[in-house]
Amino acid sequence: MAEASSDGAVKRVVGLGDPVSDVLVRLDEPSYAKRVFAACGIAEPGGCLPVDADEDIARLLAVCGGEWVDFSGDDGDDGASASVSVATPECCPGGSAANVMKGIANLGGAASFVGMIGKDETGARYRALLASQNVSPILLECEDDDESGGERSLGSARCISLVERDGQRTMRTYLGASLRMSASDFPTDEALTGAALLHVEGYALYRPELCLAATRAAKARGLLVSLDLASFEVVRNCRATLIEVLESGLVDLLFANEDEARELVGASALGVGGGGGAADERVDRGDDENFFNRSDADKALSWMLQHCAVACVSLGARGCVARAKDGAKGVAPAVRVPVVDTTGAGDSFTAGFLTAYLRGGSVQACCVAGCVVGTALVQVLGAELSFGKWEELSREVNDVVERLGGGEAGGSRRE
């Protein structure tokens, strides 16, 4: 079984997921935002929706970049082209597992990321930007056949985020080539040799064969496996695969937020939405029947620990709770800070938790470390911090591990 290094250094961690290039566009002026949404045909801003083709992302960028294309054939109300302009979009390598790997690498660990990109500029840029974040890219390239029998290259995944002044995001995502990765594509030797842990994002559950092949290969080589459930929709849509992975004993560390835990365990079992719970818990709920309290979190952790060695439920602005199968517990409140953007905060929390865990930290230390790193991310726009800030956070994580002590071999390990 993989263990933390005696000198406290994190052994190599490998992530598996969708390599999504995040494109951030700031719509600071309300009038400008209104024009962009109108030009893009977005009647109800907010939310995240998939798009079918990379051309749809290019269309949005063309409008936001001031290169007006008259998609409707109509001119503006004044008869002139309704062109717009904006600052250059900010691009960074994203995707849940990739964000976790960036966090681990920038906290002083060694990290690799496995995914599939297209043979295009977007994919090449993703590879370079990921490497610049100290993550070793293990990116396969995808080609697909078009209907005419010739070959065309699928575009690399991209997500455009239109961010208004109040922080509201309107996101459109094209997954493209990332969805073509199959079980036979997983580079077992390159990815897993010398690694201590495989981290899998929940979105990988949409490709059951790939998820099962990767986790089985990792366990066969003695690696730890961590799984982040990603979203309650993933839990709902991929429940059969998720249960198979869990019941097969393929997961050592399981991460969920309150919505994912509710969906995983069931609202009736938790007493959420059913009016259950003790009187003091009902007071905590206020008028919200769906409030997820500590009692609910404890029930969720108990269920999760039937299938893993360490379970963690994050509670957003209320911090997190975690438990290990050996009885170790962790509770960490969130630090009150001005929240600018929650994008990537959950992934950064996971990075902090795993970093502390592999450095031999107790479950309590892991919870605190996760909250320290996650809190730093919500104070900036986008999921990127300066290298100087990462160095500061790395020192804080080390201090937390030293101050709160370690568990046996990093908290709790499944043997």
Please answer whether residues 41 and 226 qualify as being in contact, where contact means their C-beta atoms are separated by less than 8 angstroms: no
284: pLDDT confidence band, cut at 50, 70 and 90?
A: very low
Is the pLDDT confidence value at 43 over 80? yes
- Give the pLDDT score at 66: 59
- Give the pLDDT score at 383: 64
β-pairing verdict for 224-228 and 195-201: parallel
What average pLDDT does the chain have? 84
Q: Report the DSSP beta bridge partners of residue 162.
A: 25, 170
3: pLDDT confidence band, cut at 50, 70 and 90?
A: very low
Is the pLDDT confidence value at 374 over 60? yes
44-70 mean pLDDT? 78
Residues whose CB is less than 8 angstroms from the CB of residue 211 and which lie 6 or more positions away in sequence, other chains included: 16, 200, 204, 205, 241, 245
Query: Which range (259-263, 272-276, 304-308, 313-317) has the least confidence?
Result: 272-276
CA–CA separation, 251 and 307 (whole Å):
7
Please answer whether residues 324 and 412 qualify as being in contact, where contact means their C-beta atoms are separated by less than 8 angstroms: yes
277: pLDDT confidence band, cut at 50, 70 and 90?
A: very low
205: pLDDT confidence band, cut at 50, 70 and 90?
A: very high
272: pLDDT confidence band, cut at 50, 70 and 90?
A: low
Is the pLDDT confidence value at 228 over 50? yes
List pLDDT tens digits, range 116-170.
Answer: 999 999 999 999 999 999 999 999 999 765 544 445 668 999 999 888 888 788 8
List pLDDT tens digits, range 380-395.
Answer: 876 678 999 999 999 9
Higher-confidence position of 415 and 55: 55
Higher-confidence position of 280 and 48: 48
- Give the pLDDT score at 407: 60
Residues whose CB is less than 8 angstroms from the CB of residue 304 and which lie 6 or more positions away in sequence, other chains included: 254, 256, 261, 264, 265, 311, 313
Quickly count: other Cβ atoms within 10 Å of residue 209's Cβ: 12
- Give the pLDDT score at 28: 82
Pair of tokens at residue 406: 């370690």
39-64 mean pLDDT? 87
CA–CA separation, 107 and 361 (whole Å):
15
List pLDDT tens digits, range 59-76.
Answer: 888 888 753 333 333 444
350-379 mean pLDDT? 95
- Give the pLDDT score at 63: 84
Pair of tokens at residue 225: 């496996």
Length of the chain: 415
CA–CA separation, 54 and 51 (whole Å):
8
List pLDDT tens digits, range 313-333.
Answer: 999 888 999 999 999 999 999
Higher-confidence position of 201 and 48: 201
Higher-confidence position of 398 and 70: 398
Is the pLDDT confidence value at 281 over 70? no
- Give the pLDDT score at 271: 56
- Give the pLDDT score at 248: 97
Print the SS3 string covering 340-353: CCCCCHHHHHHHHH
Please answer whether residues 37 and 196 qualify as being in contact, where contact means their C-beta atoms are separated by less than 8 angstroms: no
pTM: 0.85
- Give the pLDDT score at 32: 84
Q: Which domains does the chain have, with CATH numbers?
A: 12-19+94-152+175-404 (3.40.1190.20)
List pLDDT tens digits, range 85-122.
Answer: 445 688 899 999 999 999 999 999 999 999 999 999 99
Q: What are phi and psi of 331, to 5 degrees?
A: -140, 130
Is the pLDDT confidence value at 260 over 50? yes
- Give the pLDDT score at 29: 84
Is the pLDDT confidence value at 243 over 80? yes
Please answer whether residues 172 and 63 qualify as being in contact, where contact means their C-beta atoms are separated by less than 8 angstroms: no
